[in-house]
Amino acid sequence: MTVTYQTGGGGNLDIDFWLKDPVGGTVAKHDKQSTGSVSATADKDGRYVYCFSNEMSTVSDKEVSFNVHGVIYVADEGVVAPIEREIRNLAIGLQSVKDEQEYIVVRERTHRNTAESTNDRVKWWSIAQTILLFAVCGWQIYYLQSFFEPNMESSDVLGRPLASLGAADDLRADTKAEHNRLNIQHEMLKVLVGGLFIVPDLMKKALDPTQREENCGVLDIGTGSGIWAVEMAKQFPSAEVVGIDLIHPDNVPEIPPNCRFRIEDANLDWDRYAGAFDVVHMRSVTTGIRDFKVTLHNVARTLRSRGVILLISPTAWIYSETKESLHDRDQDTPGWSAMAALNEAVRHATLKRGGATAIATDHWTRWLSENPLYTDVGEREIWIPIGPWKEGLDESERAATELLRQNAIEVLPFFKSRLLGGCDEELIDRWSL
């Protein structure tokens, strides 16, 4: 007898098979086979038993196709006609062909199922890869944009977008006009100071690359239009210059490779900048600092040995040509100044909103001297007319006073949002014209 079988489906397409004789002896045994064929001669009378077992896999059901057939052997004593013998051989051949065809059908079905399953897996894997690819591309675009564009929530106040970063100062350099004004202010200070800084010897020593194992670092707090940071990076190409503000400068031409800008709030945590810079520059940022004394302490922690802090800011007061304060005079009093009145209103409005106000500049020298982290504290006052009205000015002084007048005129419209709530709006509009 002959038993042929084929596992057509389920699990790993394997099955256990055994064949036993009438007395229980094992004639043949296959373990975990997908296909097989067993031929045995019946040398004992009785019932032969064959069995398929799936005990080794209790999870998956199995589909098995099998055939059992036998050949009756009749002794050839010369009484069988030749044609009968040929017919018997033909029957045996036809049975073999039938068994082989059934085997081929099962194999084809098995292979087709495998191919369709593989195609489905490839299809879903391709879809998953496509979704993942788009997700990664989207994340990369979003992440890269965060390096070049300000990422912040904003709201509109009087038609001007304001950052919601918790800063006390809402007078932000977020328009082209304001950036241009800051550039005018920069040129004026360069004329007055004679360059980008007032202590060239200390600056050159602090930024001497031969005295540092790592690259020298410069931090520009409240960078505004970014022009000071850009020019510093060009003047000191071996130094890394970082400018921080509530908004990224949007019209800075030709940013050097050693200069970059970040959106930061100087009132927040400074721990990540500890010991990272050799020079810290702060110019006209007093109204945006909540506690300037604390900020000075934080700056000291960011400075390395022999580091320099540069503080530049206009005073909170307006003076006459004889250097008398004009802030304590009523409008009907001789010598009253509209500019002084506006400046006083801005100072009170800033103080009301939580800013340090420009009056903090009056305490800079004392705060620096009292802080043990600072040494060699120096101060320099520069008196400059608002406009070239004073006689005897040389060419550079006249240029600086003209720039200051232009700066004062262009800054007026930006005071409006700060003054609302504390002054009459009609008066504010008249000042802003």
DSSP state letters, 248-307: --SS--S--TTEEEEE--TTS--GGGTT-EEEEEEES-GGG-S-HHHHHHHHHHHEEEEE
Core vs surface per residue 188-209: b (16+ CB within 10 A) or e:
bbbbbbeebbbeeebbeebbee
Mean pLDDT of the 113-138 span:
91
Q: Distance between CA atoms of 298 and 372, rounded to whole angstroms?
A: 13
Q: What is the pLDDT of residue 168?
A: 37
More confident residue, 165 or 299: 299
Mean pLDDT of the 301-325 span:
82
Picking from 26-35, 137-146, 155-164, 362-371, which range would have the lowest pLDDT averaged per residue? 155-164
More confident residue, 415 or 202: 202
Model confidence at 321: pLDDT above 50: yes
Model confidence at 390: pLDDT above 60: yes
Distances (CA, A) of 189 to 111, 271, 417: 84, 31, 26
| Cross-sheet strand order for the sheet of 2-9 | 35-39, 2-9, 63-69
Model confidence at 75: pLDDT above 50: yes
Model confidence at 158: pLDDT above 50: no
Work out whether strand 239-245 and strand 259-263 pair parallel, antiparallel, or are unpaired. parallel
Reported as a single tens digit per residue, the pLDDT across 242-289 is 999 888 887 777 899 999 998 888 888 788 888 889 999 998 887 778
pTM: 0.54
Residue 51 has which token pair?
């069995």
Question: Any residues with CB less than 8 A from the CB of 195 and at least 6 apart, and which?
Answer: none
Q: What is the pLDDT of residue 133?
A: 94
Of the candidates 312, 314, 346, the one whose C-alpha atom is nearest the C-alpha of residue 418 is 346
Picking from 97-106, 154-163, 364-373, which range would have the lowest pLDDT averaged per residue? 154-163
Q: What is the pLDDT of residue 211?
A: 80
SS (H, E, C) 27-92: EEEEEEECEEEEECCCCCCCCCEEEEECCCCCCCCCEEEEEEECCCCCCCCCCCCHHHHHHHHHHH
SS3 state at 316: coil
Q: What is the pLDDT of residue 425?
A: 54
Residue 179 has which token pair?
């950036």
Q: Which helix (H) or strand (E) holds 221?
A: strand 216-221
Taking every pair of C-alpha atoms in the chain, what is the biggest distance, in angstroms? Answer: 155
Mean pLDDT of the 340-346 span:
73
Q: What is the pLDDT of residue 127?
A: 94
Residue 271: CA atoms inside 13 Å, Cβ hemisphere, count? 1
Model confidence at 122: pLDDT above 90: yes
Percent with pLDDT over 70 in the chain: 81
Q: What is the pLDDT of residue 350?
A: 64
Q: Which helix (H) or strand (E) holds 351?
A: helix 338-352
Q: What is the pLDDT of residue 417?
A: 54
The torsion defined by the Cα of 94, 99, 103 and 108, in degrees rounded to 10, comes to: 40
Mean pLDDT of the 284-300 span:
85
Q: Find where tokens 């420009």 sit.
A: 358
